[in-house]
Structure 1
C-alpha cells in the first residue's frame, strides 16, 4: 500500500466528506475518489459506504483506520529521525579514548553533549592510539581521542589539547623541595615509562627528551596507561614525565613539578574518518574544545 493512499484514506475517514477531505489534502475531489477506489481494489474490501446521507466507514474501513494511523505515524517518525541524524541532533556515536582524556575535558564534553543532544547515544571504548586508529579504519569507531600520532590516509585529525610535560615524583623525593626541576637532575632516577608497544610516539618523545639532557634513562617499568604510571610513582617505584593534566587525578603521595626550559609538549588529538563522517563528530569536537578552554588546558 502506498503511504499516499493511506493518507488520503485517513483524511477522508476523519472528515467523512469528499469535498472537505479534498480541501484538506489540497487536491480536487475526482483524484481523491480515484485514490480511494484504487485502495479498495488493492485491498479487495469496501472501505466506505456512500449514500445520499453522506459517507461512513465500513467495518473493514474502521479496522484499516487504526492501522493506517499507526503506519503514518511511524512514517512521520522515521522521516523526522532520519533528518535529525543527518543534522547531527540524534543518533549513535562510537567513541574511542585514551585514559588521559578523562582529565582533559572529556567528561565535561560528554555532559554538555547529553544536555544539548539528549537523543544521542554514546558508546565508549578505552584503547591505545594504534587500536583506535584501526577501529576507525574498520568502521568500529566514529571518533578517536589519541596521543600524538600521524593520521593515516583517509583519517582527519584535529588538535584538542596541547600541554607541557611535568615531573611526577613520590612525595618523599629530594627534588620535591624545589619549585621546578632541570630534566638532567633525573639522570640517577629510575623512570616509569609508557610501553613502546602501546604508544611508541610518547615513549620515543620522553626518551629523546632525556637524551637531549645528556643521559639515557634507566627504565624501571613500562606500562599501558598513564594512571598506572602515576600509581607506580605513588608507590615509590620511580619517577615519571607525564602530561600536566594528570595533576587532576588526585592520587595521594604524589608531587608534580614543572620542567625548566623548553621541551616537546604532550598532545591529544581527535581523529575520524574523512568519509563517511558521522555528523555528531563535529558536535563532540566543539564540546571538547570548549571543555579544554574551561579547564585552561
Structure 2
C-alpha cells in the first residue's frame, strides 16, 4: 500500500465528505475518488459506503483507519529520525578507548555529549590501540581514542591530549624526596612497562628515552593497561614512566615526580574513518577538546 493512498484514506475517513477531504488535501475531488477506488482494489475490500445521505466507513474501513494512522505515524517518525541522524542530533556512536582516556577528559566529554545530544546512545569498548584501529577498519567502531600511532590509509586522526611523562614511584622509594628526577637516576631500578605487543610505539618511546640517558632499562613486568602499571608500582614491584594524567587516578602508596630536561611527550589521538562523514564523531571531538582544556585549567 502506498503511503499516499493511506493518507488520502485517513483524510476522507476523518471528514466523511469527498469535497472537504479533497480541500484538505489540496486536490480536486476526482483524483481522491480514484485513489480510494485504487486502495479498495488493492485490499479487495469496500472501505466506504456512499449514499445520498453521505459517506460512512464500513467495518473494514474502520479497522483500516486504526492501522493506517499507526503506519503514517511510524512513517513520519522514521523520516524525522532519519533527518535527525543526518543532522547529528540522534543516533548511535560506537566508541573505542584506551584506559588512560578515563583520566584525560573522556568522562567529562561524554557528560557534555549527553547534554548536547540527549537522543544519542554511546556504546563503549575498552581496547588497545591496534585493536581499535582494526575495529575502525572493520566498521565495528565509529571513533577510537588511541595512544600515539600512525593511522593507516582511510583513517583520519586528531591530537586530543599531549602531556609529559612523569616518574611513578612507590611511596617508600628514596627519590620520593626529590622535587624532580633526572631519568639517569632510575638506571638501577626495575622498570614496569607497557607491553610491546599492546602498544609498540609507547614501549619503544620509553625504552629510547632510557637509552638516551645512558642505560638500558631492566624491565620487571610488561602489562596491558596503565592502571596495571601503576598498581604494580604501588605494590613495590618497580618504577614506571607514565603519562601525567595518571596522577589523577588517586591510587594510594604512590608518588609522581616530573622529569628534568626535555623528553618526548605522551599523546592521545582520536581516529575515525575518513568517509563517510559522521556528524556524531565531530560532536564528540569538540567535547573531547573542551574537556581536555578544562582539565588543563584545573
TM-score higher than 0.5 = yes
- Measured after TM superposition, the shift of residue 139 of structure 1 is 1.0
Superposed CA deviations along residues 89-129 of structure 1, whole A, max 9, x for unmatched, are: 11111111100001011111112212222221211111110
Unaligned runs of 5+ residues in structure 2 are none
- Measured after TM superposition, the shift of residue 53 of structure 1 is 2.1
**Contact 1:142-1:277 at 8 Å conserved across structures:** no
Superposed CA deviations along residues 126-175 of structure 1, whole A, max 9, x for unmatched, are: 11101111111111111111000000001010111111111111111111
SS of equivalent to 2:231: helix
- Measured after TM superposition, the shift of residue 277 of structure 1 is 4.0
Distance in 2, matches of 1:24 and 1:180, equals: 79
**Contact 1:12-1:18 at 8 Å conserved across structures:** yes
1:69 counterpart residue number: 69
**Contact 1:171-1:255 at 8 Å conserved across structures:** yes
**Contact 1:93-1:278 at 8 Å conserved across structures:** no
Distance in 1, matches of 2:277 and 2:223, equals: 33
Query: Are 2:86 and 1:86 aligned?
Result: yes
Superposed CA deviations along residues 18-64 of structure 1, whole A, max 9, x for unmatched, are: 12211211112221111111111211211111222221111111111
Unaligned runs of 5+ residues in structure 1 are none
**Contact 1:129-1:146 at 8 Å conserved across structures:** yes
SS of equivalent to 1:295: helix
What is the RMSD computed on CA atoms of the aligned residues?
1.0
SS of equivalent to 2:276: coil
Superposed CA deviations along residues 191-235 of structure 1, whole A, max 9, x for unmatched, are: 111111110000000111111111111111111110000001101
Superposed CA deviations along residues 245-275 of structure 1, whole A, max 9, x for unmatched, are: 0000000010111111111000000111112
Distance in 1, matches of 2:141 and 2:223, equals: 24
SS of equivalent to 1:79: helix
SS of equivalent to 1:257: strand
Q: What is the count of residue pairs matched by the alignment?
A: 296
Distance in 1, matches of 2:228 and 2:59, equals: 71
Instruction: Using the TM superposition, name which of 278-287 and 260-269 deviates more.
Output: 278-287
2:13 counterpart residue number: 13
SS of equivalent to 2:95: strand
Distance in 2, matches of 1:165 and 1:277, equals: 34
**Contact 1:166-1:244 at 8 Å conserved across structures:** yes
Distance in 1, matches of 2:41 and 2:226, equals: 70
TM-score under structure 2 length normalisation = 0.97
**Contact 1:194-1:223 at 8 Å conserved across structures:** yes
- The 5 Å alignment of 1:79-158 reads 79-158=79-158
Distance in 1, matches of 2:125 and 2:89, equals: 22
Instruction: Using the TM superposition, name which of 5-14 and 82-91 deviates more.
Output: 82-91
Distance in 2, matches of 1:176 and 1:254, equals: 9
- Measured after TM superposition, the shift of residue 74 of structure 1 is 0.8
**Contact 1:190-1:218 at 8 Å conserved across structures:** yes
- The 5 Å alignment of 1:193-272 reads 193-272=193-272
**Contact 1:168-1:254 at 8 Å conserved across structures:** yes
**Contact 1:109-1:287 at 8 Å conserved across structures:** yes
**Contact 1:193-1:222 at 8 Å conserved across structures:** yes
